[in-house]
Structure 1
């Protein structure tokens, strides 16, 4: 992935946190004929593998399953806070000589998937539900499906894990723009209610503005 040093993450914890809060990622796997792409949820085990391990599941009817069984070369892409940055927000009117841009946070996780057995898949589903239901009033749990309901669903899915062998991350948040322009963009985003992107930009430019 093309990047600049100024867009590098502050460390592995920041990258792992992006995966944890994003959850939804894109699995891309090379097949003999083409690329196969699936959009899935992922849980992260930070303590296993060189850069952590992703755990997910998909339908048995998905053509991706055969490639997972083969351990085919794959990448998972997570896109977090992102949005258009307009030059109309910058000070200096009528002369605004900075081009508009798109700011974003993205992580690429490279590795080879490995299929899980039914107990591993069930453990992953329980973890995913607990993570996504946390903090909700009357949080749902898998026991409400009953044993037969859980077994019926397990028969139709394939769980897998992907040990992250190579990890790439890019936090493009205006670090290479003029500080006054970046500050103005943050203020406009906050006015529009796009707070997650504004917060990321503010954090990444804290020492400049």
Structure 2
């Protein structure tokens, strides 16, 4: 992902929080012929040892993508909220654009052992069930059903080697246009516009 220095996010705490909030990612690698393959799937960021992070995930065993995990590095893509920015919101300039936040993680993949897969599934389920009114724990799944499901997937661990985060949020604009964009996004009122507006507001103090 091309990321100009002006829009590049380098704070790991910010990036880690983004990944955890937008954990449904896109996993991409290539087969033996160099053809890219991609799967949409939940990915969990885990601090394996102090300062060393990995992503845990799994794909269906019938999905051939896992067979090419050893073909160079794998890419995990996380996309956040985004919004169209109309040039009518600027005092000057007539070129519209799109504001967005995205994170790319490059790394090598290791296939997990069965016990690791089970632990990763339990952690993933606990994380997402926490928001449920009646959370279900993995222990409530009967052993046969659980093992059948574990046998039908391939769990993996992606070691985080390279991080590329792009927060394209009108950083090049002067204050008047910058805060005009924020005001118009707030006026639109949809979830994506409000999140982008909040991210912009957090990055520049109001000068109005």
**TM-score exceeds 0.5:** yes
Q: Contact conserved, 1:83 with 1:102, CA < 8 A, in 2?
A: yes
Give the structure 2 partner of residue 77 of structure 1: 77
- The question of whether the paired residues in 2 share the 8 Å contact of 1:77 and 1:109 is answered with yes
The alignment of Structure 1 onto Structure 2 pairs a total of residues equal to: 204
Q: CA deviation at 1:52?
A: 1.4
Superposed displacement of residue 8, structure 1: 2.3
Instruction: Decide which moves more: 70-79 or 171-180.
Output: 70-79
1:174 is paired with a residue of what secondary structure? coil
Q: 1:186 aligns with which of 165, 182, 186?
A: 182
Q: What's the offset of the Cα at 1:56?
A: 0.3
Partner of 2:40: 39
Unaligned regions of 5+ residues in structure 1, if any? Answer: none
Q: Secondary structure at the match of 1:5?
A: coil
Structure 1 residue 48 displacement after superposition? 4.0
Alpha carbons of 1:84 and 1:118: their partners in 2 closer, same or farther (altered >3 Å)? same
* Worse overlay, 142-151 or 153-162: 142-151
Change (3 A) 1:49 1:167: farther
Partner of 1:180, secondary structure, is helix
1:49 Cα offset (Å): 8.5
Matched, 1:27 2:27: yes
Q: If the length of structure 1 is used for normalisation, what is the TM-score?
A: 0.89
Task: List gaps (5 residues or longer) in structure 2.
Answer: none
2:119 aligned with 1:123, yes or no? Answer: yes
Q: Distance in 1 between matches of 2:142 and 2:172?
A: 54
Q: Which residue of 2 aligns with 1:145?
A: 141
The residue number in structure 2 matching 1:56 is 57
Within 5 Å, give how 1:158-173 maps onto structure 2: 158-173=154-169
- Contact map agreement 1:50 1:163 (CA 8 A) in 2: no
- Quote the Cα distance in structure 2 between the aligned partners of 1:184 and 1:207: 11
Superposed CA offset, 1:12-52 (max 9, x none): 11111110100011111122221111111100013448751
- SS in structure 1 at match of 2:120: helix
Question: Residue in 2 aligned with 1:203?
Answer: 202
